[in-house]
Amino acid sequence: MKNKRVVVGFVISTISLFLCVIFSLAIGARYVPIADVISAIKDKSIETFDAIVVRERIPRTIFSLMTGAALGLAGVLMQSITRNPIADPSILGVNSGAAFFVVCGIAFFNISTAYEYIVLAMLGAAVTAVFVYGIGSVGRGGATPIKLALAGTAAATALSSLTSIIMMPKDRVMDSFRFWQIGSVSGANYEKIIVFIPFLLAGIVFSILLSSHLNILALGDDKATGLGIKPVQIRLFSAIAGVFLCGAATALAGPIGFVGLMVPHMMRLLFTNDMRVLVPMSALGGAIYLTFSDIIGRILGGIGELEVGIVTAILGGPIFIIIAMKAKVKSL
Amino acid sequence: MTELIFKLKKAKKRRKNRAITAMVIMTLIILILIGLSLYMGNTIYSPKIVWRVLSGENIKGATYAIKSIRLPRLFAGIFAGIAFGMGGFVFQTMLRNHLASPDIIGITSGSGAVAVICILIFKVSGFSASAFSVIGGLSITVLIFILASWKGFSNERMILIGIGMQAIMRAIINFVIQKASTYDVPAALRWLSGSLNGVAMSSIPIMSLTIALGAIVILVFEDQLKIIELGDESAVALGVKITRVRALLSVVSVIMLAFAIAVAGPIASVAFLSGPISSKITGKSQANAGAAALVGIILILASDLTGQFALGSRFPVGVVTGLLGTPYLLYLLITMNRKNKI
C-alpha cells in the first residue's frame, strides 16, 4: 500500500519536475511556444531569436533545480536532527549569519568569486546554527520550537544590525549586497553551476547514506544507542551535510527562506515519515518548488521579475503560520 | 496587627518613593539629552547661541541648523520614544509576556511594509502614509489575534504566528526595495532600520498630537490594564470590561506606533526593551506606562547621539537600538528557561 503510494508519488513528482523545466524555459519576459522550446533543445543548429532565449534560460533552470534540491535536503536533515518541525535556515537565523559573513567579505576582503562566497557563507551558516541551537536548548525541555524560533529571531536582529553597520558607510557594498540579499536564481551561469555540483553531490550522498540511521534516531536516543547507533555522530554528520547544502545554496543564490521548511512537511504529508523516502523526495520536491516559485515570480513580476526568495517567503510564510496553528500548545 | 498594617503601608510608601525618585532622575537625564541633541552636530553652537535661537533670535547658520534640522529630529525622537515605550508596555502587560512586544510579533513590520509601499511606490508621505500604516498595523494585529485564537488562545502560538507574519512582511518590504530605483534605496534602507535623519518639521505636529492623545488615553486606562494583568477572571470580578479595554488599548497603541513608524521608521527593539527596563528601575509593583515612555525617550535620544557621534561613521538610531536589544533578548531567553516559563 505504502509502496504503491510512493511509486505513484514519485511518478507524479517526476512529471511535475519535467513540466516545471519546460515552463521555466518557456516563460519569461518573452514567451516562447513550447514546441519551439523542444525543437531549440533538440536541434542545436537552430539560431532563431527564440532558440537563443531558451538556451539563455537553461543555466537558470538547472541552477534553480539544484538550489531547490539543496535547500529541501538541508531542511529535512535539520528537522530530523533537531526533531523540530520549524527548523529551517531562515527561521534559525542561519541566513542572516551567512549574509553577515558575506558582507564582511565584500566589505573587507573584496571577495568576488563564487568559491569565496561559498566558503564565507558556509562558515557564517555553521557558526550561527551552532550558536542559535546552543542558546535555544539551554534549560529544561531542550530546544523547543518556540525557544529555537526566538533565539533565531534574536540572532537575526543582532546580525542584521551588525550587517547594517558594516554596509551603510559603503555604497558599493550596499549595492552588491542589496541584490544578493534577496535571494534569486536570475544571476545563474555555468560557472556557478560547476562550483555548486560537488557540494550538492556530497550533500546528497551523505544524506542518503545517513537516512536509515536517522530513521532509527527518530525512535529516541536511548533506543538508537541500543540498536548500535551513535546519536551524536549521526547528528554531527547530518548537521555538516545540512550546513554544506544550505551554505552553498545561500552563497550562490542569496538567502532563500521557507523552501527547507515547507518541502519536508509537504512530503511527509503526502508520503511517509520514512527518511529513506523522505530524503530523496525532499530533494525532488525542493527542486520542483523552487523552480515553480521562480516561474510564478516571472509571471507576476512582468518584465522586472519577482525574485524567487520573495515568492518562497510569501508562499511559505502562511504555511509556517498553519504549522504553528496546528501545533499543540504543550509541544511549543 | 496594626503594627503589621503600619509596616506594609510604610513599605508601600517606600516603593512609591523609589518609583517617583526614579522617574524624576529619568526626566533629568532626558533634559540633559535634549540639551546635548541641540548642542551637538556638524557645528557645535554654544549653549548661549542655542538659547538665543530658541527664544526667537535670527542668527545666520545657527537658526537653520537648530530650527530646521536639530529640533524636528529631537521632537521625532521624543515622540517616537513615547510611542514605542508605551506601545511595547501595553502589549507586554496585556499579554503577560515580555516577548510579546510589537516588534517581535510582527506588528511593526506590518506598519513598516505599508509605509514602505506608500513612500516608494505611491510616493505619498506625511499624513496619508501614516494613516495607511495605521490601517496596515491594525489589520496585521487583528489577523495575528484571530489566527492565534483559532483553537484557544495561547501566547506561544501568537508569538510563532507573529514571527511567520514578520517573515512575510519582510519579503514584501524586500520586494518593494528591489523594485525601487537605486537612487531611493539608501534612504529606504536607512528608514527601514529606523532613522531620525532628515525628519521634516512639517511632519511633527500631526505625529506629536496623535501620540500625545494616545498617551493620555493609555494613562487614563492604565489602572484597568493593571487589573487585566492580574488575570482575566479577577479582572471580570473587579468589574473591568476586558474585551473592550483590550481592544481599545491595542488600537490606541497600534495607532501611536504607526505614526511613529511613518516618521522615524521601525526603530528596532525600543518597544521591546522599554517596559522591562522601566519595571527594573521603578520596581515591579510600580511599573507604569509613564516610566516606560521615559525609558523609550532615553533609549532613542541616547542611541541617536551614539549613532551620530560615537561610532566614527554616522549610523541611524535603529542600528544602535537593534544592537542593544539583542543581548537583552538572549538574557531573557536564558532566564526564562531557568524559570521554565517558556
Domain membership of residue A217 (yes or no) is yes
pLDDT score of A328: 58
Residue count of chain A: 332
Please check whether residue B68 touches A, CB under 8 A: no
Q: Which of A60, A36, A62 is nearest to A49 (CA)?
A: A36
User: Cα dist. A138→A153, B103, B334 in Å?
Assistant: 16, 24, 7
Record: contact B165-A144, CB cut-off 8 A: no
Q: Tell me, what DSSP letter sits at residue B239? A: T
Task: Tell me the torsion sign for CA atoms A304, B139, B260, B308.
Answer: negative
Q: Which one of B178, B323, B334 has the shortest CB-CB distance to A161?
A: B323
Per-residue pLDDT band for A38 (boundaries 50, 70, 90) equals confident
CA distance B182 to chain A (A): 8
Is B163 within 8 Å of chain A by CB? Answer: yes
Q: At what angle do helices A275-301 and A259-270 cross, to 10 degrees?
A: 120
Cα(A28)–Cα(B11) distance, rounded to whole angstroms? 73
Nearest alpha-carbon partner for B34 in B2, B64, B79:
B79
Interface of A with B in 156-175 (CB under 8 A): 157-158, 160-162, 164-165, 168-169, 171, 174-175
Residue A190: the pLDDT is: 86
Task: For residue range B122-176, list pLDDT tens digits in order.
Answer: 877 667 777 888 888 888 888 888 888 777 777 677 777 888 888 888 888 878 8
Domain assignment of residue A332, yes or no: no
Interface contact A158-B161, CB threshold 8 A: no
CB contact under 8 A, B189 and A164: yes
Q: What is the pTM of this model?
A: 0.78
Q: Exposed/middle/buried for A170, CB within 10 Å: 0-12, 13-18, 19+?
A: middle
B138 near B251, Cβ under 8 Å? yes
User: 3-state DSSP: chain A helix, strand, coil percent, rounded to 5?
Assistant: 75, 0, 25
pLDDT at A330: 44
Residue A310's identity, in one-letter code, is: I
Judge: A158–B323 Cβ closer than 8 Å, yes or no.
yes
Structural domain includes residue A204: yes
Q: Does B187 touch chain A (CB under 8 A)?
A: no
Distance separating alpha carbons of residues A292 and A65, to the nearest angstrom: 10
CATH code at position A177 = 1.10.3470.10
Answer whether residue A331 is part of any domain: no
- Cβ-in-10-Å burial (0-12, 13-18, 19+) of B55 comes to exposed
What mean pLDDT is reported for chain B?
83
What's the number of domains chain A is made of?
A: 1
The answer to whether residue A295 scores a pLDDT higher than 60 is: yes
Subunit contact A169:B179, Cβ cutoff 8 A = no
- B327 vs B276: CA distance, rounded Å: 13
Burial class (CB in 10 A: 0-12, 13-18, 19+), A22: middle
How many angstroms separate the Cα of B286 from the Cα of each of B226, B235, B306?
10, 19, 30
Contacts of B179 in chain A (CB under 8 A): 304
Rounded to an integer, what distance in angstroms lies between the CA atom of residue B306 and that of residue B270?
A: 15
Contacts of B333 in chain A (CB under 8 A): 135-136, 138, 147, 150-151, 154
Q: Where is mean pLDDT largest: A36-40, A314-318, B294-298? A: B294-298
Taking an 8 Å cut-off on Cβ atoms, the answer to whether A313 and B168 are in contact is yes
Nearest to A327 by CA among B7, B150, B179: B150
For residues A290 and A68, the answer to whether their CB atoms sit within 8 Å is yes
| Distance of alpha carbon B137 from alpha carbon B338, whole angstroms | 34
From B175's Cα to the closest Cα of chain A, the distance in A is 6
Place A332 in a pLDDT band, splitting at 50, 70 and 90: very low
From chain A, the residues in CB contact with B162 under 8 A are none
A329–chain B nearest CA distance, Å: 7
Domain span holding position A11: 2-326
Rounded Cα–Cα distance for residues B269 and B319 (Å)? 10
CA distance B24 to A180: 49
A294 vs B: CB within 8 A: no
Distance CA A241, CA B237 (A): 57
User: Which residue in B has a C-alpha nearest to residue A92's C-alpha?
Assistant: B163
Q: What was the pLDDT predicted at A134?
A: 80
Which parts of chain B register pLDDT below 50?
342
Residues 22-81 (A) with a CB less than 8 A from some CB of B: none
**A257 within some domain:** yes
Q: What per-residue confidence (pLDDT) applies to A319?
A: 82
Residues 6+ apart with CB under 8 A from B340: A139, A140, A141
Q: What is the DSSP letter of B45?
A: P
Q: What is the share, in percent, of chain A residues with pLDDT greater than 70?
A: 92
Under 8 Å between Cβ of B208 and B79: yes
Closest by alpha carbon to B341, among A139, A135, A87? A139
pLDDT value at position B337? 61
Burial A47-84 (b: 16+ CB within 10 A, else e): eeebbebbeebbbbbbbbbbbbbbbbbbbbbbbbbbeb
Q: Is A300 on the interface with B (CB under 8 A)?
A: no
DSSP B85-133: HHHHHHHHHHTT-TT--TTTTTHHHHHHHHHHIIIIIS---THHHHHHH
Give A331's pLDDT tier (boundaries 50, 70, 90). very low
- Distance (Å, whole) CA A142 – CA A156: 21
**Closest by Cα among A288, A213, A202, A291 to A243:** A202
The mean pLDDT of A211-225, rounded to a whole number, is 82
Tracing cell 525628519 back to the chain, one arrives at B199
- Whether complex ipTM tops 0.90: no
> What per-residue confidence (pLDDT) applies to A148?
75
* A61-118 pLDDT tens trace: 999 999 999 999 998 988 888 777 777 777 777 778 888 888 888 888 877 777 888 8
More reliable by pLDDT, A303 or A159: A159
- B165: closest chain A residue by CA: A317
**Which domains, from first to last, does chain B contain?**
2-339 (1.10.3470.10)
**Section A273-285 average pLDDT:** 88
Angstrom distance (rounded) from CA A167 to CA A179: 13
Residues 257-276 of A with CB under 8 A from B: 257-258
